[in-house]
Structure 1
Amino acid sequence: MKIGIIGMGHVGSTLAYGLVLKGLCKHLVLANRNVTKAQGDALDLQHTLSFCEHPIIIESSRIEEVTACDILIMTASVPFAAMKSRIELGPANVALFKELIPDLAANNPDAIFIVITNPVEVMTYLTYRLSGFSASKVLGIGTLVDSARFRSLLSRMEQIHPADLRAYILGEHGPHQFPVFSHASAGSEQIVDNLPNRLLCETVNNAGHEVYGLKGHTNYAIATAACEVIQAIVYDDHRTMPLSLYFNEWLGIKKNCFSIPVVVGRAGVTRYLRPDLNLLEQQALATTAALVKANINRLLYPDGGGLDDEESPMEQESTQSARRRTACT
């Protein structure tokens, strides 16, 4: 298993450390626009191997020289000194991905992309479009980290280990995310949708910005969330988790890209899960869907058109095949 991390900022470095400690690959490539930073991380992690159980080849690379990876994790982002919302990073990160993704996809045709860069829904959809890969192989971390934060807070209130809680946050990795209380449970006992638990959701919504305000970045939770996805792929675990990815249709929502519950294994996403949502959750879903689509259209289609007007690579292939059949007859 060969894994490449594209972008060695706080998240990329923390993720690399987690992958080494967990021994989740045989070959780890650290790539950065400033290759000196990647070289320093690679050397530091090579020294760490003396304390680890699994031998790993660890090397640094220029981004354009990353090849033949099984998994590519996109953490690359434009630098920012102050940020009020993730969407502010959109224009510059869109330009960055337009520069990086086509070559990465061409040089790593069998890879699964994992996108961490914000705004994650926009960047995941853009990676899907630019790479030409199947939607099942372009995964945004999305609300996986929000769901983990939610379970952590619920754990304190319920006095139950967070791993024994089943509770998802879906939709946007941002202010319009929503909890699915109708399917939240502990030991098959439903977790009640009440005011205290709703207040926890507000805390979750602000958690990333709180951490960012205190130390200037987030890294541990998001890197650990990425490790969970990578582990599910490496070991073909078929784990259920909420991830951001493009879909043609989900619970009546057409052509969009945000976090929904999926099953993850070696091939990427192997199944979309379709829970029955109550009326409140359906309304929240419609709101987040409209907001995400508006963000995608504003950042990726400023001259008109939009996500609804685009054919997916699969649809393009079907259209081309139909045209070829017509030409033959």
Structure 2
Amino acid sequence: MKKKKVSIIGAGHVGASTAQLLAHSGISDIVLFDIVDGMPKGKALDLSEACPLWNSASSVTGTSDYAETAGSDVIVVTAGIARKPGMSRDDLLKTNAEVVSAVGRGIAAGSPDAVIIAVTNPMDVMAHLLFKTTGFPHHRVMGMGGVLDAARFSTFVAWELNVSPGVVNSVILGGHGDQMVPMPRFTTVNGVPVTELISSDRIDALVERTRGGGAEIVSLLKTGSAYYAPAAATFQMIKAVLFDEKRPLPAACYLTGQYGIDGLYVGVPAILGASGVEKIITLTLNEKEREAFAKSAGAVAGLVKILNI
């Protein structure tokens, strides 16, 4: 059986951390791509030398040549500049759009059957841009943000209740940014809705902290942004695709009428498997939730319009 191949475009903190998780797990070979001379090769060599210690048979290749990504089963796009203090995800829009457009053109020909996971911010828009520049079917292009946002909400709920984070199952809708829509009604602790366990005031506070989760880390680091949790979220999505897990996960998916949205990437719960987004799960929302989701989708649509894609 041929080993799976995952290419990671962008060998910065998120890309390299994702490569580390893959190499440690041994579930695929890895190509780490970056345009910075020597950097992807250096990180790949370092990871390769760790593989014997992890008893991993993964091959790790560093490159600045898109040709080495050919034949990938999954391509993760993390390339772009990171957010700095005081900078919103939207501020990144035009700079990262130029980078991601070039990436889309670079990877499309060599891996025509790949599933693409967009991580670069603003993530929903970058997923849309990759869909357009690669010409891939929309179900094979998705964005990572929902898994990360759900993990952040689960963390804060677990801390609030002093329970293991592993028993919290969070649901997040909307764009990956300040207007994301955590869904307390659908978030459970061992099957019990958090609305039965936490007061509405405290839930509101946890929701606000989740919305600002990335900015909180940026403000603390001062010279960087989050990468451990984004890499872990990306790894979970990669695994769902490589092993055809049919795993329900929140992801930025191209909507074709679901939730009243057509022709736009927005975060929704979906079933992820070998062909990418295999099914979108449609929740029945109340009026307040519908309004919040529509507002979040509208913010994404506004950025897509700016880029004229």
TM-score higher than 0.5:
yes
The question of 1:196 aligning with 2:202 is answered yes
C-alpha distance in 1 between matches for 2:54 and 2:142 = 29
Change (3 A) 1:253 1:32: same
What RMSD over aligned residues (CA atoms) do the two structures have, in Å?
Answer: 1.5
1:218 corresponds to: 226
Deviation at 1:81, TM superposition (A): 5.2
Q: Structure 2 CA distance, aligned partners of 1:189 and 1:159?
A: 15
Structure 2 equivalent of residue 94 of structure 1 = 97
Shift of 1:164: 1.8
Contact 2:83/2:218 (<8 A) preserved: no
- Find the aligned partners of 1:111 and 1:126 in 2 and give their Cα distance: 16
Residue type at the aligned position of 2:203: N
Q: Does 1:123 align with 2:129?
A: no
> Is the 1:141–1:226 contact (alpha carbons within 8 Å) kept by the matching residues of 2?
yes
Tell me which residue corresponds to 1:239: 247
The answer as to 2:163 corresponding to 1:155 is no
The corresponding residue for 1:294 is 302
Separation in structure 1 between the aligned mates of residue 83 and residue 245 of structure 2, nearest angstrom: 36
Cα deviation digits, residues 11-33 of structure 1 (max 9, x gap): 111111111112220x2111100
C-alpha change, 1:97 and 1:159, in structure 2 (3 Å) is same
Aligned-pair CA distance for 1:154: 0.5
Tell me which residue corresponds to 1:75: 78
Indicate which of 117, 122, 146 corresponds to 1:143: 146
Instruction: Identify if the C-alpha distance between structure 1 residues 146 and 40 changes in structure 2 by more than 3 Å, giving closer, same or farther.
Output: same
Match of residue 170 from structure 2:
167
Number of equivalent positions: 300
For residues 251 and 195 of structure 1, the distance between their equivalents in structure 2, rounded to whole angstroms, comes to 27
Q: Distance in 2 between matches of 1:89 and 1:12?
A: 18
2:264 maps to 256
Aligned to 2:288: 280
Q: Show structure 1 runs of 5+ residues with no match.
A: 302-306, 308-329
Q: Give SS of 2:145's match.
A: coil
Q: Which moved more, 1:123-132 or 1:150-159?
A: 150-159
The one-letter code matched in structure 2 to 1:173 is H
Unaligned runs of 5+ residues in structure 2 are: none
Secondary structure of residue in 1 paired with 2:35:
coil
Q: How does 1:8-87 map to 2 (within 5 A)?
A: 8-25=11-28, 27-65=29-67, 66-78=69-81, 82-87=85-90
8 Å CA contact 1:78–1:96 kept in 2: the answer is no
SS in 1 for 2:177: coil
Report the counterpart of residue 312 of structure 1 in structure 2. none
CA deviation string 1:51-102 (max 9, x = no partner)? 1122111111124222111111101003665552011111011111222212
Residues 233-252 of structure 1 show CA distances to partners (whole Å, capped at 9, x for unaligned) of 11111111110122221121
1:35 touches 1:60 (CA, 8 Å); kept in 2? no
CA contact (8 A) 1:182 1:277 kept: no
Q: Distance in 2 between matches of 1:19 and 1:100?
A: 21
Which secondary structure state, in structure 1, belongs to the residue aligned with residue 38 of structure 2? helix
TM-score after normalising by structure 1: 0.87
What SS does the corresponding residue of 1:242 show, helix, strand or coil? strand
Alignment-derived partner of residue 227 in structure 1: 235
The one-letter code of the counterpart of 1:204 is: T
1:247-276 superposed Cα distances (whole Å, 9 cap, x missing partner):
221121222111100001111111100011
Aligned counterparts of 2:226 and 2:191: Cα–Cα separation in 1: 33
For residues 38 and 124 of structure 1, the distance between their equivalents in structure 2, rounded to whole angstroms, comes to 23
Q: State the distance in 2 between where 1:79 and 1:232 align.
A: 26
Mapped partners of 1:208, 1:81: distance in 2? 11
Counterpart in 2 of 1:177? 180
AA aligned to 1:277 is L
Paired AA for residue 26 in structure 2 = G
SS at match of 1:172: coil
Matched-pair contact (CA < 8 Å) for 2:84–2:225: no
Per the alignment, residue 206 of structure 1 pairs with 212
Code of the residue aligned with 2:183 in structure 1: it is: V
